[in-house]
Amino acid sequence: MKEKIRNFIVENFLFGERELKDDESLFESGIIDSLGLIKLLAFIDEKFKVSIDMSEIMIENFNTLNDIMETLKSKGSPS
């Protein structure tokens, strides 16, 4: 799951031009913005059938790849 999400971010936001570290901030480094987060959540919803509640959509829950995995784990998704 983690690798699929990483690949999605690399392909869609980094255009395959570099790698993404687990603890790299997606927002501070400008890799994704609000619209990017929405696209990422739509991908997670569609691919892994994990729906994120509106109240959970906070930057701090999706700031790094590790944060994303923590958030998904708290929803009972396998890592």
- Site residues (CB under 8 A) for another protein? 12, 15, 17, 27, 30, 33-35, 37-39, 41-42, 45, 52, 54-55, 57-59
Nearest-angstrom CA–CA distance, 71 and 77 = 9
In angstroms, give the least distance from the CB of 12 to another protein: 8
Q: Is 71 helix (H, G, I), strand (E, B) or coil?
A: helix
Structure tokens, 44: 């997670």
In angstroms, give the least distance from the CB of 7 to another protein: 16
Is the Cβ–Cβ distance between 33 and 9 less than 8 Å? no
Nearer to another protein, 3 or 60 (CB): 60
